[in-house]
A and B are shown apart, each in its own frame.
Chain A
Amino acid sequence: MANWGMKISLPGYDAKTATPEQCVLHSEYACPKIKLNQNPPHFGIYQYTFTSNPGVGDTILTTIHHGFNYRPMHLVCIKYVDINSINRAQPLPAEYDADTLIDSYTTASDLVIVLSRIGTTNNLIGKTWTFKYYIFVEDGA
């Protein structure tokens, strides 16, 4: 740390000697930030229920405008029941089955959640997937 700055140590550690790992907050190490009061919000959930079985190719499930003029860092997590009836919650990309990849990306204007299929072995009609998304202010590219 330079001659100025701020650090707050975790309980049980002396702030004067604590390493960055032992700190709650350390002004030399920024944290990923999600802006509040954005429209549309920069964090939240999005639920998608299939009313038809997506065909081969890309199907955009949703697009969320972020308003940055750059590609920001993001995280999208999907919650679903997989083809083996196992509950799963994991960050995207996720593979629903050997034919079906669910992914997300940011462009300079949007966060996009997309489904890519190379086959249609499993019918997705009636399946509901819940996505949790974060759009950070930090650069993603």
Chain B
Amino acid sequence: MANYGIKVSLTGYNVKTAADYQLLFSSGWPVLKIHAQGSFTVPDAGTDVTIFQHGLNYPPMFLVYDTGNNRSQLMWYPVYMNNTELKWYGAGTGMSGTRTLYYYIFRHDMTTNFTGTLLKSTEGSKTTGDQFGFKIAKPGKNVNSADYRDYVIHSSARSLQIHKMVNFIGTGTSWSKTISHGLGYEPFFLLYAYNSLYDRWTMCAADNWDFDAYADSTNVYVHGVPPATMFCVIFKDPYNLQE
């Protein structure tokens, strides 16, 4: 952060001594911002269908949940993202029947890079006494609502703060990429891969054995077999952090 800026700590932490991950936000880096969310029913899981046209003209970060069986379950296949839409690619999968999904599209471009500043990596102690706070209600919602879904941000709830976004190309076969993050702790991160042949981004999860990744206190290490464009988002969030 330059000589100016704003930062707000989570409830119970002194903003002057709080580690970056004990902040609600800081002007040195973004929080994860939701562009769109909603439910969609795939009428025939065996055919292709557009889930949501986002109109952003870039491929945004996304998450999709399968909501069948009275559950909400993260899924990565066969949902893909490109510059215009989130799409279900069911043709040829052998799937059938309907599927109900719940999706999130974030206002973060997977083709861009960003590195946040490092303000403080040592943990501040929790304080007692006055519990000040900061909250912004969503448009049309009451700022006194007890339902946290009604808020853009709330200092009694942690938000995922983005430390680094890296778009890179893995070339050749069996490539490796080391992404330094400088956080001093093992962070939580997510990884996405782009298939240029079909113009679609996918989340790296499940049996996506083409890619593997892990982190330590210095770097995120990514390995892939096929050449691919990748996107890694690293959060200011220690893997071992617990309340």
Contact = CB atoms under 8 A, between A and B. Distances in A.
Interface stretch (B42-50, B85-93, B149-157): B149-157
A79 B188 CA distance: 11
B139 A31 contact: no
A89 B148 contact: no
Interface of B: 1-2, 5-6, 10-12, 25-35, 37, 39, 63, 65, 67, 70-76, 100, 102, 104, 107-109, 112, 117, 136, 138-139, 148-149, 151-154, 156-160, 188-191, 203-207, 209, 212-215, 221, 223, 239-243
5 contacts: A24-B27, A24-B28, A33-B151, A73-B63, A93-B75
A58 interface: no
Nearest to B68: A141
Interface of A: 2, 5-6, 8-11, 20-21, 23-38, 41-45, 71-77, 79, 82, 86-95, 101, 103-108, 130, 132, 134, 137-141
A24 B26 contact: yes
Given A21-B108, A34-B157, A132-B188, A140 B243 contact: no
Contacts of A28: 139, 152
A29 B74 CA distance: 22
Contacts of B107: 20-21, 26, 29
A11 B2 contact: yes
Contacts of B2: 11
Nearest to B36: A29
Contact of B6 (A8, A30, A75): A8
